Structure 1
Amino acid sequence: MYAVVATGGKQYRVQPGQELTVEKLVGDVGATVDLPAVMVVDDEGAVTAGPDLADRTVGATITAHGKAEYIRVFTYKNKSRQHKRRGHRQPQTTIRIDSI
């Protein structure tokens, strides 16, 4: 059994017991979150999607908060000696899928 969930503007294919790193979610470590299911496929292969999933959610537990790898951003203007260097680390949350 697996499901497709939507969080942070992206969709992820998840199974029970799987660890997943997503965009930052609000909550403390150990808190539970419910993610909306976009599609669910059961063990027999039957697909459920669309309005049939209005009340179905995927339960997950927050295991850690952190930041992604450092991204270097460099802008440069030719022949004018202008350049700017900065960086960015996107906040992210690691979750464990408990139930579908």
Structure 2
Amino acid sequence: MEIGTIVTTNRIAGDKDGKVSFPAVLLVDGDTITSDQDALAKVTVTGEVLNDLRGPKIVIQKFKNKTGYKKRQGHRQDLTRVKITGIK
């Protein structure tokens, strides 16, 4: 990710201003790649919640032959769209 990237994640509750922070998992700065946990503990990624939305409908169907059993249900995942505002 870089600053200005818009990311869609599972539902995240931001603070009252709509700000969220993520822990860094991997840091790539030019040719240097940092994956050490101690160094990454100092890095935070901040973002701004743009909106909450629902994912596409997923249809779940179950059927058993010769028993008359049929079941159909749906699911829509709760999602949040976040714009990355800073990496420090």
CA displacement 1:5-59 (0-9 Å, x = unmatched): xxxxxxxxx11101110011012685111100011111x3211122211121101
> In proportion to residue count, which structure has more strand?
1
Give the count of matched residue pairs: 86
What pairs with 1:1-100 in structure 2 (closer than 5 Å)? 14-27=1-14, 31-42=18-29, 44-51=30-37, 52-100=39-87
1:47 maps to a residue whose letter is: I
1:46 maps to a residue whose letter is: T
Q: Indicate the structure (1 or 2) with the bigger Cα radius of gyration.
A: 2
Q: Greater relative contact order: 1 or 2 (C-alpha under 8 angstroms, separation 6 or more)?
A: 2
Q: Percent identity?
A: 33
| Structure 1 alignment gaps of length 5 or more | 1-13
Does the CA-based 8 Å contact 1:29-1:64 persist in structure 2?
no
Q: RMSD of the alignment, in Å?
A: 1.5
| Structure 2 alignment gaps of length 5 or more | none
The alignment's TM-score, normalised by the length of structure 2, stands at 0.90
The alignment's TM-score, normalised by the length of structure 1, stands at 0.80
